[in-house]
Chain A
């Protein structure tokens, strides 16, 4: 089971890009990387996922290194509403289970 490691907290100025790193050095070739976030007092929200190629959607971009041992979630223009805990998750292979770690608490400041 691939485990993930994230910094406990980060700060980002409003309007700047927020780059959130995640290490998943034990990931196997067919395991995806998923990102969720949890804004205070709300349920988690799906952001994006990827296997090996970089991915982009309306919320964020996901950059996965060539060896797949780490990834970076990019919020291109962070706003105050992006203040949340961000979770990098590698789901248990061949199951439907999401195991949430401690995540990165992103604080966007004015």
Chain B
């Protein structure tokens, strides 16, 4: 297993601004992912954070809106850009145990956009 921390745990932001969420893992992992969970909904995969290369985005998510960095094997950031109230969600990062589909999730960042 892996221990994952996220910063900030929650934030309230004004529309039009940007927020960067950090994800730190206590061990080196190959695969890191970012998810969004809108109020009352299930999780939606935003992108796979690739170390040393551009993130791979899922349909409906674009780099200009959700730029992702992965400078090393233990750290990643997700930025929510030019926020609107529709971006109010919980954002979660996860890591995968190599060779399996076992993913371990961070506690999430609760974002409210006013």
Contact = CB atoms under 8 A, between A and B. Distances in A.
Given A42-B107, A43-B92, A43-B106, A100 B101 contact: no
A98 to B, nearest CB: 6
B104 A46 contact: yes
A36 B35 CA distance: 15
A45 B1 CA distance: 11
Contacts of B102: 34, 46, 49
B84 interface: no
Interface string A66-110: 000000000000000000010101010000111111110000000
Contacts of B106: 43
A101 B41 CA distance: 9
Interface residues of A, number: 22
A98 B45 contact: yes
B31 interface: yes
Interface string A22-51: 000000000010101010001111100100
B75 interface: no
B85 to A, nearest CB: 21
A100 B103 contact: no
Interface in B77-114: 92, 94, 96, 100-108
A103 B42 contact: yes
B51 to A, nearest CB: 14
Chain A CB within 10 Å, residue with most, of B45, B48, B103:
B103
Nearest to A99: B45
B101 A98 contact: yes
22 contacts: A32-B101, A34-B101, A34-B102, A36-B103, A42-B107, A43-B92, A43-B106, A43-B107, A43-B108, A44-B92, A44-B105, A46-B104, A49-B102, A85-B42, A87-B42, A89-B101, A96-B33, A97-B48, A98-B33, A98-B45, A99-B45, A103-B42
Closest 9 CB pairs of A and B: A43-B105, A100-B43, A100-B42, A91-B101, A46-B102, A44-B105, A43-B92, A96-B31, A43-B108
